[in-house]
Amino acid sequence: MNKKYLMVSFEDPKIKKISEILGNNTCKKILDFLAEKESTKTDISKELKIPLNTVEYNVNKLDESGLIEKSKNYFWSTKGKKISVYKVSNKSIVISPKNSNKMKNILALLGISGLTAILIKLFSTNPPEIIYETKDFMGNTSDFTPELLTRASLAAPSTVELITTQPWFWFLIGAVGIGIIFLILNWKKL
């Protein structure tokens, strides 16, 4: 499947070819002509009144750069040669200042997060015991009473158990959530 865009960065050698093509009047005339209808090199030469060798040179440059492409249609010459028909490729040119691989960085971050979640799961099979104690205003410590623990457990019954028994799950949820927030905030920059 063909991409619908042509992405180049300032460091890409392809940008020099594209800038030469867009600065060339003959290439621009050929692009304008092909935007209206598909055509062969000979027809382009006749219609635009440009020498055939100039058309061949410029069409080859346009084809190499990806701005035009060979159509599925073709003709057979009287000598039995296949004659290609060219058309403008339906692509947008995207020029980025740097060749950034942000998506690769995001995928690496998610992979590391997943690996960390697995390691947390492996090493947290025995969750730590929680010691309940209070300090009064004098600094003396005393254990929670069973009655106080019962009331506290009614307030948040299962959330505390989930967090203490499955920290890997919550770590993974947080990492994926941060990744999604990052993607939303930087969507246009990617």
Provide the sign of the torsion angle of the four alpha carbons 120, 121, 126, 129, taken in this order: positive
More confident residue, 157 or 79: 79
Summarize the confidence of residues 14-26 as an average pLDDT.
84
- Output the pLDDT for position 143: 53
In a shared domain, residues 35 and 90: yes
In a shared domain, residues 31 and 74: yes
Q: Is the pLDDT of residue 28 over 80?
A: yes
Summarize the confidence of residues 97-109 as an average pLDDT.
64
Cβ-based neighbours of 135, under 8 Å, separated by 6 or more:
141
- Output the pLDDT for position 55: 93
| Total tally of structural domains belonging to the chain | 2
In a shared domain, residues 85 and 115: no
In a shared domain, residues 89 and 172: no
Domain range for 167: 102-185
In a shared domain, residues 26 and 74: yes
- Output the pLDDT for position 43: 92
In a shared domain, residues 86 and 107: no
- Output the pLDDT for position 57: 94
The answer to whether 55 touches 24, Cβ cutoff 8 Å, is: no
- Kindly report, residue by residue over 123-166, the tens digit of the pLDDT: 665 544 544 455 555 555 555 555 655 655 555 555 555 555 66
Instruction: Please check whether residue 155 lies inside any domain of the structure.
Output: yes
Highest mean predicted confidence (pLDDT) among 4-18, 118-132, 170-184: 170-184
Q: How far apart are CA 62 and CA 163, in angstroms?
A: 60
Look over the chain and give the mean of its residue pLDDT values, rounded to a whole number: 74
More confident residue, 125 or 71: 71
